[in-house]
Amino acid sequence: MYDWIVVGGGITGISLSYELQKAGFSVLLIEQHQQLQGGSSLGYGGISYWAGTTLVTQQLCQEGIARQRELSNELEMDTEFRDIDLLLTIEPDADPQEILSQYASCWIAPTLLNAKEACDREPLLNPKGIGGALLFPHGHINLDSFVSAHSQAIQKLGGEIIYTKVDSLLIEGDRLVGVRTEQGEFRSNQVVVCAGAMSRSLLKTSGIRSRIYYTHAEAIDTEPSDLELRAMVMPADTKRYQLEGATTNIDQDSIWDIAGHELLPPSVDAGAIQFCDRRIRFGQLSRVLTDPYAAIDPIQSEATIRKQVSKILPKIAALKGKWRNCLVAFSSDNLPLVGSLKEYENLHLFSGFTSPTVYVPALSRRFAAYVKGQPDDIIPLLSPQRFSQQ
């Protein structure tokens, strides 16, 4: 019998498992894949700590970046944390001042650059493909290294990790007592689901509805390149966020449980990041498909990504690379779902993070302290039950 079973070993589950184990609980982390497969596997690893627009999100941004800066030393393994420039490119026909105004409420204000200034910062940018850029201070980690470092630390503290698929929640009478997996049943006092986009379907097997949604994200990974991308590049007008905001109407929530629907046309946010080992990841194409296992044509997708990225970063778009895809979870109000579900008080959700690299480390530590009895003014605000009146 464990104190906690954590379902899902991506950035959310691995971070929360570590903090729970460090807080003195006995933890079993169950992850289906030994190699990252979900949203953590294809993320850029950027830490947008500048982006908080409310007192709550600004507080979490401050805590999140502070936590990321100290984790390599604490975990005794390098997460490849570094400070880098973030350049949010502005389309040639867009009004720079109007774009700038969209970021007016951010915790850290951006610097508006014209096209020449942006290209001075990042020479791989195409000066004819942009009308300028917003410059932000940014953090960056390697998500694989982040997960590996936490995995090692969890086990050093006595926590357990097994790789198997969780088929369903284990319910006896009116009580949740653990989970049922391909390797058998595992029992615990508390269960927390950190399965990202797959959290919705896992909970649904037990008749539990959750306001978790997902996009199919696609990008291209290259081998180590002689090109040097100095900054992380993304568009200032991020289409994925607009797409997410248009797909979570409560009146249409049930359509997410019916496979085969494409709720909106796909969109591409042209950008790229280079990792410390000189590999480059560029994309990103997003689709809103209600089937998490939907078949996608990689040849067509790759061509679409390359066409859009070539307008901004032509040399990068020409690099050979491997098309990859995953699911990216989000909630209907852009805040994560953290806390117990109304159906069972010992069943918790820790998912729906739009900005996991900044929010997850802070909220993992807060959550572990909260369930140990320490009052918290933020965790209750993120409860999945906040949607129960809608």
Residues 311 and 234 in one domain: yes
Kindly report the CATH number assigned to the domain that includes residue 234. 3.30.9.10
296, 312, 331: which is the final residue of a domain? Answer: 331
Tokens of 147: 């997960």
Select the more confidently predicted residue: 42 or 357: 357
Residue 389 pLDDT exceeds 90: no
Average pLDDT value for residue range 269-273: 96
Give CA 333 to chain center in angstroms.
15
Confidence (pTM): 0.93
Handedness of CA 19, 71, 358, 314 (dihedral sign): negative
Residues 32 and 161 in one domain: yes
Residue 277 pLDDT exceeds 60: yes
The pLDDT confidence band at residue 155, using thresholds 50, 70 and 90, is: very high
In 3D space, the residue among 354, 360, 359 whose CA is nearest the CA of residue 334 turns out to be: 354
Residues 317 and 352 in one domain: no
The pLDDT confidence band at residue 240, using thresholds 50, 70 and 90, is: low
Average pLDDT value for residue range 337-357: 93
Average pLDDT value for residue range 328-356: 92
Please return the burial class of 368, using the count of CB atoms within 10 Å of its CB with bins 0-12, 13-18 and 19+. buried
The pLDDT value recorded for residue 250 is 58
Q: Which amino acid is at 187?
A: R
Residues 170 and 312 in one domain: no
Residues 175 and 98 in one domain: no
Rg of the chain (C-alpha set): 21
Domain containing 166 equals: 2-78+143-211+333-387
Q: What are phi and psi of 273, to 5 degrees?
A: -145, 145
Residue 235 pLDDT exceeds 90: yes
Mean pLDDT of the chain: 92
DSSP 3-state of 101: helix
The pLDDT value recorded for residue 242 is 66
Residues 230 and 375 in one domain: no
316, 331, 346: which is the final residue of a domain? Answer: 331
Residues 59 and 112 in one domain: no
Look at the chain and report how many structural domains it folds into. 2
Q: What are phi and psi of 353, to 5 degrees?
A: -85, 115
Select the more confidently predicted residue: 68 or 33: 68
Residues 218 and 205 in one domain: no
314, 331, 348: which is the final residue of a domain? Answer: 331
Select the more confidently predicted residue: 75 or 258: 75
Residue 22 pLDDT exceeds 50: yes
286 and 278 Cβ atoms separated by less than 8 Å: no
> What digits encode the pLDDT tens for the residues 176-216?
999 999 999 999 999 999 998 889 889 998 888 888 888 89
The pLDDT confidence band at residue 354, using thresholds 50, 70 and 90, is: confident
Kindly report the CATH number assigned to the domain that includes residue 181. 3.50.50.60
Average pLDDT value for residue range 138-144: 96
Residue 246 pLDDT exceeds 80: no
Average pLDDT value for residue range 44-71: 96
Residues 48 and 101 in one domain: no
Tokens of 48: 């947008």
Residues 17 and 156 in one domain: yes
Residues 166 and 272 in one domain: no
> What digits encode the pLDDT tens for the residues 284-328?
999 988 888 898 999 999 999 999 999 999 999 999 999 999 888
Peptide bond into 284 cis (omega under 30): yes
Q: What is the DSSP string of 304-363?
A: HHHHHHHHH-HHHHTS-EEEEEEEEEEETTSS-EEEEETTEEEEEEEE--SSHHHHHHHH
* Percent of the chain residues past pLDDT 90, beyond the cut: 77
Tokens of 167: 């088929």
Q: In whole angstroms, what is the distance from residue 25 CA to residue 14 CA? A: 14
Q: Of the ranges 116-120, 202-206, 385-389, which is most confident?
A: 116-120
* Percent of the chain residues past pLDDT 70, beyond the cut: 94
The pLDDT confidence band at residue 37, using thresholds 50, 70 and 90, is: low
Residues 147 and 124 in one domain: no
Average pLDDT value for residue range 366-372: 98
The pLDDT value recorded for residue 390 is 46
